[in-house]
Amino acid sequence: MAQLGGGFWRVGHGREIELGSTAVIMAIVNVTPDSFSDGGRYDSVDKAVAHALDAVQAGAGIVDIGGESTRPDAESVDALEEQARVLPVIEALRGRTEALISIDTYRAETACLAVAAGAHIVNDVFGLQKEPEIADIAAKTGAGLCVMHTGRDRDKLDDVIADQLLFLERSLEIAGRAGVARDRIVLDPGFGFAKDTRENLELMARADELQRLGFPILAGTSRKRFVGAVTGREAAERDAGTAATSVLLRLKGAAIFRVHDVAINRDALAVTDAMLKARDVFERKGTS
C-alpha cells in the first residue's frame, strides 16, 4: 500500500484544504442537459445549488461545477453558453457554503470569470494543453489547479504509466513556466478519457507509480464506463462499483475523489482511512 502524503492544497481566495489522513471528496455538479449519468437533473441554478449544498451536507469538501458534458461524443457548447450555466451557480454558492468551489472547464475565459465569481479551483480536463492560458490565470489569481491527463486528440504510448508521465510532465512544464506554485497543483490520471477497460484497470493497479511526480492525486472514476464493463451496471447504478474503486485508489495513495454519490464514497473512504490509521499505529509499535 502506498504511503499517504500530508500537507495542504493551497487554492484561490486565500483558502487551503488539508490532504493527508482523511480523504477529500469533490462532488460533481453538472449544470448540463446531456452529462452521461445525470444530464438534465441539475440544469437550473436552483437545482444545481441545492444539489451542491446537499453534497456538502453529505460530506463533500469541494463542489465541482461543470457547464459542458465531457462524455465521449457530447456536443460542444460555446463559451457564452458554458458561462451562462456555471457563473450564476458559483455566485450563488459563494455566500452559502464554506466548501471549496471548483470550475470544471478547459476554457481560459471561463476559468478567469469563474475565479472572479468565487471559484477557488480550476479543473482542466485537457491538462493545460488545449488553452495553456489557464496556467497564467492560476498563477495570477492563486487558484488551485487540477491538471488532468487525457488520451483524447493525441497518440498515446502503449504503457499506461509512461503515457501518464509523458503527458503530465508536459502539463507541469506549462504550469511551471506560468509561475504556478507547486502547492497549488494536483494531478488527475483521467480515468475514462480515451482509455479502454484494460487501460483503466491497469492504471488503477499502478496508480501509486504516479507519486514519483510529487503531487497529490485526484481520482475521477465515478460511474465511468469501465466500472459498468466490470459490474454490468448502467451509469446510474454504478455507485457501489465506484466506491470500490475509491477504496482501491485510496490504498494506492490518492487524496481526492471526484464522485456523483457523496454518501456511499464518504462511508467507504472513512472505513479505509480508519484501517490505514490502525495500520500506521501497529507499524509504529512494531518498530519501537
Residue 7 located in a structural domain: no
Grid cell of 6 as nine digits? 500530508
CA distance 155 to 193: 13
Full DSSP string of 218-277: EE--TT-HHHHHHH---GGG-HHHHHHHHHHHHHTT--EEEES-HHHHHHHHHHHHHHHH
Task: List the CATH number of the domain containing 126.
Answer: 3.20.20.20
CA distance 55 to 28: 9
CA atoms within 13 A on the CB side of 78: 1
User: How many domains are there within the chain?
Assistant: 1
Cβ atoms 180, 172 nearer than 8 A? no
Instruction: Give yes or no: 152 in active site.
Output: no
Residue 48 located in a structural domain: yes
Q: What is the pLDDT of residue 32?
A: 85
Residue 5 located in a structural domain: no
Cα-based distances in Å from 6 to 9, 159, 215, 232, 268: 10, 29, 11, 36, 20
Residue 131 located in a structural domain: yes
Catalytic residue among 224, 225, 238, 250: 224
Entry field: residues in the chain: 288
Residue 122 located in a structural domain: yes
CA distance 33 to 197: 26
Q: What is the pLDDT of residue 36?
A: 47
Q: What is the pLDDT along the chain (288 residues), one digit of tens a residue?
A: 665 656 999 999 999 999 989 999 999 999 987 544 544 566 689 999 999 999 999 999 999 999 998 766 667 889 999 999 999 999 999 999 999 999 999 999 999 999 999 999 999 999 999 999 999 999 999 999 999 999 999 999 999 999 999 999 999 999 999 999 999 999 999 999 999 999 999 999 999 999 999 999 999 999 999 999 999 999 999 999 999 999 999 999 999 999 999 999 999 999 999 999 999 999 888 776
Range of the domain at 220: 24-287
Catalytic residue among 225, 250, 252, 258: 258
Grid cell of 93 as nine digits? 454558492
Instruction: Give yes or no: 266 in active site.
Output: no
Residue 9 located in a structural domain: no
Residue from 267, 13, 261 nearest 118 by CA: 13
Strands 8-10 and 16-18: antiparallel
Residue 4 located in a structural domain: no
Residue 3 located in a structural domain: no
